[in-house]
Amino acid sequence: MRHTVTLSSETDWPGFRSEARRLLAHLVPPEDVAWHTPAGAAEDLFVPIADSEQKRPAAPVPPAQGAMNFVVPPAFLTLCEKVVLHQDPARFALLYRLLWRLVHERALRHDPLDADRTRARHMMQAVRRDLHKMKAFVRFRPLEREGEPPLHVAWFEPDHHIVEAVAPFFVRRFTAMHWAILTPECSVQWTPAQADPTAAPQKASDASLPPGELRFGPGASRADAPPADAGEALWLTYYAHIFNPARLKTDMMRKEMPVKYWHNLPEAALIAPLTAQATERSGRMVEAAPTSPARRIVQPVQQARALDPHPGAALPDDPKAALAALKRATERCRECPIGAHATQSVMGEGPIHAALMVVGEQPGEQEDLVGRPFVGPAGQLFNRAVAELGWSREHFFVTNAVKHFKFELRGKRRIHKTPGQREAAACLHWLESEIAQVRPRAFIALGATAARALVGRPVAVTAERGQWLEGPQGRRVLITLHPSALLRGDPAERDEAWRAWLEDLAQASDIASLEAAR
Ligand code: URA
């Protein structure tokens, strides 16, 4: 007897799992089952059309011939989750056959060279490669919309059914951005939750995602994606500048960036000319006399404008709008490597023209996900100090020296890494641009990174804490520890450390309580 199962989508893993369990429990052998997906790409050409149009459950399964308990290795489930995303129409038949054999042929577990196992493993690897390539090679282009934030649209042609599986990655990476990815098979669009804190939060259907709406729609064509924008010219200039002819390894490049993706990558047009000049350029580099690195001259507003998604547009006169423009610009900042890995940039918040600006080091894990400064554990400690001092966060502006979260991956965990001096220096102009908008009377530097950024020289925080230092243009900066230093400190000395920290901060009490003026 033949059984036909029509799954509800190309990637219906839950459907496959429950049907496979049911069939297995009823001892239906793999050769008696035909698996179909709505695309109609049946792997079994001899199944009548009428049969293949049934939705699951399909042909009635005979009564169970005795209950069957089976346990499969966890690695098999991982394999299935990836293989169901493969474009091969025979994938579900293969997986069910493997499941059947795992249960009925104990020796299969010890035969890694078995043809079915090998084929499934290769399919899993192909899907993993496709997921990796999509994460690496999607390029968004902004589409201006009347009265709405720009929609960043990308065109991509995956080999497998991976769009749904990869969408959460893009949500986490570009949480604050409105974006859409178009592919021939389906499209996906992300609308972040409203920035207005009084608005009801939208829910992402997946509870592990930040608030917002993730929608899937029909496929599209390449012509639906917007053409190159001015920001792309900037990216190409940057790409040409960072191309190091002495490090050219064309085989490696082709492997990492296969030619089939080139038509989606603006930088691909530069590869041939840059490669052709590489030998000559590296020869000149070898012959040239050594040079010492140029001192970086910070030109905050010009750089911010250059990176703004609308090049040529000046920062708006209205400070609130200018801060919003800076936020958009930092999202695209790749002047150091941190930005490429963070979820989003985190800019300061607080009243425009606050009298006091508090500057931390960089956003942490929580801040990176939420997009606001000092909301994680260090922020909670800081809030406690604010409460004990009788201050209110509504009275001052809180920001960081570095605008993206730097971390190191340990397994799935993102562990905070202190930004290097180069990274802090690269980010300095963003902080200076914020300062230029807020124009505070005084600053509190929480920790060494903030102190150096504000004072303009390395500061020994433990030696100079509790002191007001003078920075450029007579800037007044109160130096103290970063709250995470207290979190890390010796528990036996915690009370004392807490009291000393409050004492440091209290020196800014007069300014902290001033209403934002001007
Ligand atoms: N630490 C910081 O320095 N800033 C934050 O925003 C959070 C933690």
pTM of the model: 0.48
Q: Tell me if 127 is assigned to some domain.
A: yes
pLDDT at 263: 72
Residue from 71, 77, 78, 65 nearest 106 by CA:
71
Across the range 393-421, mean pLDDT stands at: 93
Task: Verify whether ligand 1 is closer than 6 Å to residue 361 (CB atom).
Answer: yes
Choosing from 338, 346, 380, 400 the residue with most ligand 1 atoms within 8 A of its CB, the one to mutate for a pocket test is 400
Residues 90 and 184 both lie in one domain: no
User: Are residues 205 and 254 located together in one domain of the fold?
Assistant: no
**What distance in angstroms lies between residue 363's CA and the mean position of ligand 1's atoms?**
4
Structure confidence at residue 298 (pLDDT): 43
Q: How far is CA 131 from CA 170, 241, 337, in A?
A: 12, 29, 22
CA of 397 to the centre of ligand 1 (A): 13
Average the pLDDT over 357-363 and give the result: 98
Q: Average pLDDT in the 300-322 region?
A: 62
Q: Which amino acid is at 132?
A: H
What pLDDT score does 199 carry? 53
The last residue of a domain, from among 108, 132, 156: 132
Residue 261: inside a domain, yes or no?
A: yes
In a domain, 326, yes or no: no
Confidence of residue 232 (pLDDT cuts 50, 70, 90): low
Distances (CA, A) of 324 to 35, 140, 434: 52, 20, 10
The pLDDT of 491-503, averaged and rounded, is: 88
* HSE (side-chain half, CA atoms, 13 Å) at 417: 17
User: Which residue is listed with tokens 């902080």?
Assistant: 431
pLDDT at 420: 95
Predicted pLDDT at 300: 47
CA distance 36 to 191: 33
**Of 113, 132, 151, which marks where a domain is finished?**
132
Shared domain check, 259 and 215: no
Residue 198 lies in a domain: yes
Q: Is 374 in the pocket of ligand 1 (CB under 6 A)?
A: yes
Let me know if residue 330 belongs to a domain: no
Confirm whether 229 is domain-assigned: no
**Residue 175 beta carbon below 6 angstroms from any ligand 1 atom:** no
Cα separation values, 140 from 121, 129, 152, 329, 398, Å = 32, 21, 5, 15, 31
Considering the domain architecture, whether residues 483 and 449 belong to the same structural domain is answered as yes
- pLDDT class for 68, splitting at 50, 70, 90? low
**In contact, 453 and 359? CB cutoff 8 Å:** yes
- Tell me the mean pLDDT in the region 366-388: 94
Strand 186-192: give its sheet, edge to edge: 141-145, 148-155, 178-182, 186-192, 212-218
Residue 145's beta-bridge partner residues?
A: 148
Claim to verify: residue 173 and residue 248 sit in the same structural domain: no
Report CA(400)–ligand 1 centroid distance (Å): 7
Pairing of strands 442-446, 356-360: parallel
Closest CA to 7 of 96, 103, 101: 96
363 lines ligand 1 (CB under 6 A): yes
Q: Are residues 78 and 161 in the same domain?
A: no
CATH code of the domain covering residue 363: 3.40.470.10
In testing the pocket of ligand 1, which one of 349, 368, 374, 404 has its CB within 8 Å of the most ligand atoms? 374
Residue ranges making up the domain that contains 61: 3-132
* Average pLDDT value over all residues in the chain: 83
Q: What is the pLDDT of residue 446?
A: 98
Last residue of a domain, one of 132, 150, 168: 132
364 and 504 inside one domain: yes
| 149 and 101 fall within a common domain | no
Q: What is the mean pLDDT of residues 301-319?
A: 58
Could you tell me how far CA 242 lies from the centroid of its own chain? Answer: 22
How much of the chain, in percent, has pLDDT values that exceed 70? 82
Neighbouring residues of 19: CB distance < 8 A, sequence distance ≥ 6: 5, 7, 56, 57
Residue 329 has pLDDT above 90, yes or no: yes
115 falls within a domain: yes
One domain for residues 126 and 26: yes
Q: How many domains does the chain have?
A: 4
Q: Is 178 left (phi over 0), alpha (psi -120 to 50) or beta?
A: beta
- Give dist(CA 273, CA 251) in Å, integer: 16
Is the residue at 90 inside a domain?
Answer: yes
Structure tokens at 66: 């005795």
* Mean of pLDDT values over 176-188: 92
Same domain for 199 and 105:
no
- 434 and 393, same structural domain? yes
Contact 416/447 with Cβ under 8 angstroms? no
Q: Is 90 exceeded by the pLDDT of residue 404?
A: yes
Q: Greater confidence, 231 or 55? A: 231
Pocket of ligand 1 contains residue 478 by CB under 6 Å: no
Which residue type, as a one-letter code, is found at position 295? R
pLDDT interval class at 207 (50, 70, 90): low
Give residue 422's pLDDT band: very low, low, confident or very high (50, 70, 90).
very high
State whether 190 and 253 are in the same domain: no
